[in-house]
Amino acid sequence: MQLYNLKHPEEKVSFAQALKQGLGRDRGLFFPAKIPLIDNIAALLQKPFIERSQEILAAWLSDEIPENRLNQLVSRAFSFPVPVVRVEERLFSLELFHGPTLAFKDFGARFMAQCLNELAENQPVTILTATSGDTGAAVADAFHGLNNIKVVILYPEGRISSLQEKMFCTLGDNITTIAISSDFDACQELVKQAFANEPLNRALHLNSANSINISRLLAQICYFFEGVAQLQRFDTNAPVISVPSGNFGDLTAGLFAQAMGMPVKRFIAATNSNDTVPRYLADGVWAPHPTRATMSNAMDVSEPSNWPRVEAILKHNGRQLSELQGISVSEEETRSSLAHLNAIGYLAEPHAAVAAEALQKTLLPAETGLFLATAHPAKFKERVDEILRTDIPLPRPLAEAAARPLLSERLICDFDLLKKRLLLLNQTA
Ligand SMILES: *Cc1c(COP(=O)(O)O)cnc(C)c1O
């Protein structure tokens, strides 16, 4: 697989390089030189999830990872179910939260960990990542206990639920977690600064497991196909797919799937009140506001890092930006969406509620809607219980994590302090 830097197209890398490097020069995102087309989509959709995912990923990666190895990586990474659930006559949920940390980020993180294990050739690496919640848990779990890989996770102090925090800040071993006294964008900025710092990079072999890493996006393509495949059992319309978006990695993966030939009527970029993209789609002006804290906190992002890829895919395919629908959902609407879904028998959490609401607002009578349910409701138990006046039970992975003590450190939002801390980490084996 050949990729190039969107900011400096002359910089070309292989998948293995993009996997290890994360970003190119000037923090440019890597983008595939070619998007493979699937010849027989109908046959592909007939296949079981793992087999189909192996075929999809082989279309991208077979020149770099032998097919039998790749098949093994895929079946190890995707070892849990991905059900489509009918919510209403023409409204369906693609449940992406049945993995070990109960959120869709398990797909990308687990596949990335498998790829690094396969391609890093025993070179020690340090994963440095910023999380607004679920990435941290997924990355920590996917890499926990792997030899030669240290993981450092930054997160905004006090801006994620305490249960979310427990899911990735209690593991220890090769996992270090640092609460930063600022918001998610500031954490992401610290990570960017670390990657731009040559000496630090050389000393630690930094690698970002953020959704900017192309390996994660490739993994996520697979569940869009699975959603469409399962949906065909109920309804043969190409669906309108609503993607609850923060950094827009998920939507990027969906657009890759569409570019490969997956049938979809249109995509909705659903955001909370951090609405940079819906406003941009409406008036063509890119004008991020300061990030606002909302109850769908994994989407509290005002400068989404994957956006240049979204535009590049559309351009690659000769499509228009106007084909994307951008919908911003308020806190009030998120609450009522959650309550409405519960009233018709579907328990959701705020992120899925945002995506469902965006569909309810825009779906035409003859259309079929599929929204991505990106996290397990119990991951947002405090909020869900408060809105629905319920006391939902904790699934086992969460109950176990909740009982463990927090191992996080705290740090002021300052790059020099972070740098010192990281270098120290390298001295203690
Ligand atoms: C990360 C996350 C999102 C947003 O995904 P992006 O790829 O960053 O757009 C939505 N919902 C949940 C639960 C998440 O963890």
Where does 99-231 show beta strands of DSSP type E?
A: 125-130, 149-156, 175-180, 206-207
Q: What is the pLDDT of residues 66-85, one digit of tens each?
A: 999 999 999 999 999 999 99
Ligand 1 atom with the smallest distance to the CA of 220 is 7
What is the C-alpha separation between 143 and 152, in angstroms, rounded?
11
Ligand 1 centre distance from Cα of residue 217 (Å): 12
Indicate whether residue 109 lines ligand 1 (CB < 6 A): no
| Total-model pTM | 0.91
Ligand 1 centroid–CA 82 distance in Å is 16
Residues 6+ apart with CB under 8 A from 176: 150, 151, 152, 153, 409, 425
Q: Which amino acid is at 163?
A: L
Give the pLDDT of residue 428: 62
For a ligand 1 pocket test, name from 242, 351, 379 the mutation site with the most ligand atoms within 8 angstroms of its C-beta: 351
Compute the distance from residue 272 Cα to the ligand 1 centre, in Å.
Answer: 11
Contact between residue 129 and residue 209 where contact means Cβ atoms under 8 Å apart: yes
CA of 68 to the centre of ligand 1 (A): 31
Give the Cα separation of 299 and 134 in Å (integer). 10
Ligand 1 pocket, residue 245 CB under 6 Å: yes
- CATH fold for domain 81-104+214-388: Rossmann fold (3.40.50)
In terms of phi and psi (left: phi > 0; alpha: psi -120 to 50; beta: otherwise), the region of 225 is alpha
pLDDT at 265: 97
Q: What is the mean pLDDT of the chain?
A: 94
* Residue 94 Cβ contacting ligand 1 at under 6 Å: no
Taking Cα atoms as reference points, which of 305, 360, 356 lies closest to residue 95?
Answer: 356
Name the token pair of 290.
């300061």
Q: How do residues 333-378 score in pLDDT, each as one tens digit?
A: 999 999 999 999 999 999 999 999 999 999 999 999 999 999 999 9
- Token readout for 169 is 């800040």
Atom index in ligand 1 nearest the CA of residue 246 equals 9
| Residue bearing the CA closest to ligand 1, atom 1 | 298
Give the start-to-end residue ranges of the domains of the chain.
Answer: 81-104+214-388
pLDDT of residue 2: 98
